[in-house]
Amino acid sequence: MDLEPVFDDGAHGRAKIGYVLLATEQTIEDDVYRLRPDGVGIHFTPVPIPDSITVATLGDIGDNLAEAAALLLPDGTLDVVAYACSSGSVVLGEERTFAELNRGAPGAKATSLITGVMRGLRAVGAERVVVGTPYLDEINRIEADYMRRCGFDVLAIHGLGIERDSDMVRVAPGYIADFAAAIDRPDADAVFLSCGALRSLDVVEAIETALGKPVVVSNQAMIWDTLRLAGINDRIDGYGRLLRDH
């Protein structure tokens, strides 16, 4: 038999997106697959970290980002690569994060979770924000200062004082909704719930309805950002106005 193989664009002809995750991560993969449009390929790789989210452990990751990104579709067909950690991307900063990601995946557009969040906040017209996190105060201070340097008026930031990533993933969605309501302020344009480990995506629509204002949560914003960078403009209902309207 001398038939030649016939090729097409594959199952993921629309786009291919890679996410570099903390090795302790347990939430992001489910959230990304839940919102993945047809024809979009999703690829994950971990970076090592102990089950301790501190400034020191997050800072150590910088040396491993390029190596991790290089494992994502080494054939060079990756369209977008993201560092999928809110706290980690503010500790390293976007400039270093992008440089490390592109050392490993030079043909992909580089982004980070905090980048997607800030783009998402701008898209919904938010300048004055309140921020809720599960983090220790040392991380909260860095995140608030980073966002202020990027032009946001962070009215307040409230953390839950949790260090272990394995505990962050266990914060109940109902509590997250109550937490968002408790930290909201009338002068805030939006509420931002930080951390890819939190199951905030489960309740973001309900929180927006209750508060009557935009609510941006880490995984929602990251998925929106990576899809748009990849040229995927599908609108997705049920997970907040960012994915529905922008």
Q: Give the model confidence (pLDDT) of 218-235 as tens digits.
A: 999 999 999 999 999 999
Per-residue pLDDT at 1 exceeds 90: no
For the entire predicted model, the pTM comes to 0.97
Domain extent listing, the chain: 15-113+221-240, 116-217
* CA angle (22, 58, 149) in 5-degree steps: 115
Question: pLDDT tens digits for 26-42?
Answer: 999 999 999 999 999 99
Q: Which fold has domain 15-113+221-240?
A: Rossmann fold (3.40.50)
Q: Where are the alpha helices (DSSP H) in 86-136?
A: 86-92, 94-104, 113-123
Per-residue pLDDT at 144 exceeds 90: yes
Establish whether domains 15-113+221-240 and 116-217 are of one fold.
yes
Contact 195, 21 (CB under 8 A): no
Q: Kindly state the average pLDDT of the residues 135-157.
A: 98
CATH class belonging to 116-217: alpha beta
